[in-house]
Amino acid sequence: MKALLEVRRVSKKYGNGSTALSDVSFSIQEGEFVSIIGPSGAGKSTLLRCINRMIEVSSGEVVFQNVNVTKLGKKQLKQVRRTIGMIFQHYNLVNRLSVIENVLHGRLGYKSTLAGMLGLYNEEEKKKAVEILAMLGLQDQIYKRADQLSGGQKQRVGIARALVQEPKLLLCDEPIASLDPNASKTIMDYLKTISTTLGITVLVNLHQVDVALKYSDRIIGVNKGRIIYDGVPREMTSDMIHNIYGSETGDLLFDLGGENAG
Amino acid sequence: MLGNFFLRKRMNFLAYFGLLIIIAFVAGVITEYDPVKGFTSIPKAIVWGFTNFYPNVESFEKLPDILQKIRETLLVSVAATVTGGAFAFLFAIFGAHTTRFNVFLGVISRGIAIVFRNIDFSAWAMILLFSFGQNVMTGYFALFFGSFGFLTRAFMETIDEVSGGPVEALKATGAGYFSIVFKSVVPSTMPQMISWVLFAIETNIRQATLVGILTGTGIGFAFDLYYKSLNYHAASLVVVVIVIAILLIEWLSNYVRRVIL
Ligand SMILES: Nc1ncnc2c1ncn2[C@@H]1O[C@H](COP(=O)(O)OP(=O)(O)O)[C@@H](O)[C@H]1O
Ligand SMILES: [Mg+2]
């Protein structure tokens, strides 16, 4: 195993003076399933977006596959971005387009300007997209418009769009925050399968501690822009959870007992 | 404390209300406007309308002429709105927060749109009269500038509202700028943009009548001509034709909207 991603001493200060990240460092091995947990406003979304530079870091560096992403020019940045899939809380699909069109958007990073504008995809890409949709149980929705799908189905289209990029890493920003428990479980199960069978590294922001404990190889706890826990779920204590979520959270709405007893 | 708070609110309201009445009164004195005379003249105006301002049989002889004029007005309005919309699309892409690729360029296009939006159609017509004279091009450009400014603003808001999410997603896949615009911004905003263009066509047809009076073209000219030559029956026929045309256009654009949205 070697480090796929290294985040070194990253800080982020927004224009309005608020500090979202202070001196954050961690590294992720290839194939790992890592969750970032923390209260809202802790800096989880900012952290995730600093990795593919959807947000520029203020200081520090991000090294992905031995390439310092923070130093790249526009063109090379695009090449790195297409090897990193991203999944969003609100799915971020083009609602008026069909499922298959949305999935094929994942190939745009590989296209020339003209081919991208016209949406010229080759047979192989289309076949791959259909295969991925079938794998995610969406074989019957291929030609449906994205806005006719349920939330869980939309998120699976989002996952398919990321997978068709043939990524090394998936960044998921609260992928289940807008879903009901059933759909949430389906999505988390798919993400886990993707990590174990396709060997794709998964980094997922969550605010549900129980979900993070159940699915992750490793958990990173963030509070006020700082990492205050980085370790396996087994060693997570309820004291630590209180620290991550802040002391004012009197009693959290779940119990650690069963999960971590064994 | 609480009592004081509400008392202050009430006092503030009374003060503003009193100020408003004083302003209205002073304005009336300065312009020698007599509100009583103003309102009592309304019934007289209605009576005059019913006795003089209606189309009679002779006025229908003018109908072919009037129809030709309204066709000209309709075509000018549509042409001005559509070309204005095309330019507005470009400026909106440059100016919207979601799609601008350069802050400086973004501010410039927003600025231009604000200037064009805040100069009224009739003001444009007057300004352009100097350069083009009483000409159909004057009307065309007045409507073009007006709808360009209005549509740029509407398009920018549509882009920022609808396509933020998809744009972020496509950027994250490594897609280039033009792929992002054509594959996410265009498909997600097109129906709303068409709807705005239809709305602009509707308002432009109304404006075109007014602009026509100023520039001496189209249906506005026909109305002006008949009215000034005291041919009230023909003038009223012009009004009827305008109302029917506007209703037709509105019905048509509502139909198109239903289909595309
Ligand atoms: N674009 C922005 N401009 C200014 N401040 C921001 C911006 N985005 C996030 N923040 C601030 O940065 C902090 C971290 O936000 P975020 O990364 O969204 O946290 P999380 O995803 O954990 O809820 C918050 O205090 C938030 O208000
Ligand atoms: Mg967030």
Full domain range(s) for residue A137: 92-166
**Confidence (pTM):** 0.84
B15 occurs within a structural domain: no
Please, where are the H alpha helices in B119-231? 121-132, 136-162, 164-172, 177-180, 186-215, 218-228
Neighbours of B26 (CB within 10 A): 10
For the cut 90, the answer to whether the pLDDT of residue B244 exceeds it is yes
CB contacts of B190 in chain A (<8 Å) are 96
> Are A182 and A208 members of one domain?
yes
Residues contacting A152, CB < 8 A, separation 6+:
A179, A180, A182, A183, A184, A186, A187
> Are A68 and A98 members of one domain?
no
B153 occurs within a structural domain: yes
> Are A110 and A122 members of one domain?
yes
* CA distances in angstroms from B18 to A131, B15, B33, B35, listed in the order given: 73, 5, 20, 18
Cα–Cα distance measured from residue A56 to residue A142, given in angstroms and rounded to the nearest whole number:
36
Residue type, A146: A
Cα–Cα distance measured from residue A257 to residue B120, given in angstroms and rounded to the nearest whole number:
70
A203/chain B closest Cα distance in angstroms: 15
Decide if A225 contacts A244 (C-beta within 8 A): no
CB-CB under 8 Å, A117 with B182:
yes
> Are A238 and A157 members of one domain?
no
**What is the pLDDT confidence band of residue A257, given thresholds at 50, 70 and 90?**
very low
> Are A238 and A144 members of one domain?
no
B44 occurs within a structural domain: no
Give the pLDDT score at A1. 56
Give, for A28, the enclosing helix (H) or strand (E): strand A19-29
B259 touches chain A (CB under 8 A): no
Question: Exposed, middle or buried: residue B14 (CB in 10 Å: 0-12, 13-18, 19+)?
Answer: exposed
Token pair, residue B131, equals 């350069």
Give the pLDDT score at A256. 53
B175, B184, B188: residue with CB nearest A109: B175
**Taking residues B101-118, what's their average pLDDT?**
90
The CATH number of residue A65's host domain is 3.40.50.300
Could you report the per-residue pLDDT of A175-188, keeping only the tens digit for each?
A: 999 999 999 999 99
- Report which protein residue has its CA nearest ligand 1's atom 8: A46
> Which atom of ligand 1 is nearest the CA belonging to A38?
22
Could you report the per-residue pLDDT of A157-204, keeping only the tens digit for each?
A: 999 999 999 999 999 999 999 999 999 999 999 999 999 999 999 999
The CATH number of residue B251's host domain is 1.10.3720.10
> Which atom of ligand 1 is nearest the CA belonging to A19?
12
> Which residues are placed with Cβ below 5 angstroms of ligand 2, an ion?
A 45
Residue type, A55: I
For the cut 80, the answer to whether the pLDDT of residue A17 exceeds it is yes
Query: Kindly report the CA angle at B161 between B109 and B153, in degrees rounded to 5?
Result: 30
> Are A50 and A67 members of one domain?
yes
Domain final residue pick, A110, A144, A166? A166
B107 occurs within a structural domain: yes
B4 occurs within a structural domain: no
Decide if A24 contacts A9 (C-beta within 8 A): yes
Write out the DSSP string of B95-135: HSTTT-S-HHHHHHHHHHHHHHHHS-HHHHHHHHHHHH-SS
B169, B170, B176: residue with CB nearest A113: B176
| Three-class DSSP category at A64 | strand
For the cut 50, the answer to whether the pLDDT of residue A262 exceeds it is no
CB-CB under 8 Å, A158 with B172:
no
Interface mutation vs chain A, best among B159, B173, B182, B186, most A CBs within 10 Å:
B173
Mutate which of A12, A16, A18 for ligand 1? The one with the most ligand atoms within 8 Å of its CB, which is A18
CB contacts of B182 in chain A (<8 Å) are 116-119
Token pair, residue B110, equals 């927003």
> Which atom of ligand 1 is nearest the CA belonging to A16?
4
CB-CB under 8 Å, A161 with B173:
yes
Q: Is A14 in the pocket of ligand 1 (CB under 6 A)?
A: yes
Domain final residue pick, A113, A137, A166? A166
Q: Report chain A's mean pLDDT, rounded to a whole number.
A: 92
> Which atom of ligand 1 is nearest the CA belonging to A42?
22
> Are A220 and A197 members of one domain?
yes
Give the pLDDT score at B136. 83
Question: Exposed, middle or buried: residue A55 (CB in 10 Å: 0-12, 13-18, 19+)?
Answer: middle
CB-CB under 8 Å, B168 with A116:
no
B7 occurs within a structural domain: no
Number of domains forming the structure of chain B: 1
Cα–Cα distance measured from residue B86 to residue B90, given in angstroms and rounded to the nearest whole number:
7
Could you report the per-residue pLDDT of B140-197, keeping only the tens digit for each?
A: 999 999 999 999 999 999 999 988 999 999 999 999 999 999 999 999 999 999 999 9
> Are A173 and A161 members of one domain?
no
* CA distances in angstroms from A124 to A107, A130, A140, B60, listed in the order given: 11, 10, 20, 68
For the cut 90, the answer to whether the pLDDT of residue A220 exceeds it is yes
> Are A32 and A103 members of one domain?
no
> Are A39 and A102 members of one domain?
no
Number of domains forming the structure of chain A: 2
**What is the pLDDT confidence band of residue B38, given thresholds at 50, 70 and 90?**
confident
Q: Is A44 in the pocket of ligand 1 (CB under 6 A)?
A: yes
Looking up tokens 């003249």, which residue turns up?
A: B41
Give the pLDDT score at A246. 81
Give, for A62, the enclosing helix (H) or strand (E): strand A59-64
* CA distances in angstroms from A260 to A111, A235, A245, B29, B242, listed in the order given: 47, 8, 19, 85, 78
> Are A136 and A54 members of one domain?
no
Domain final residue pick, A144, A166, A188? A166
B138 occurs within a structural domain: yes
Full domain range(s) for residue B95: 62-260
> What is the percentage of chain A residues whose pLDDT exceeds 70?
94
Angle between helices A181-197 and A151-163 (to 10 degrees): 20
CB-CB under 8 Å, B165 with A97:
no
> Are A188 and A162 members of one domain?
no
For the cut 60, the answer to whether the pLDDT of residue B80 exceeds it is yes
The complex's ipTM?
0.91
For the cut 50, the answer to whether the pLDDT of residue B16 exceeds it is yes
- Report which protein residue has its CA nearest ligand 1's atom 16: A43
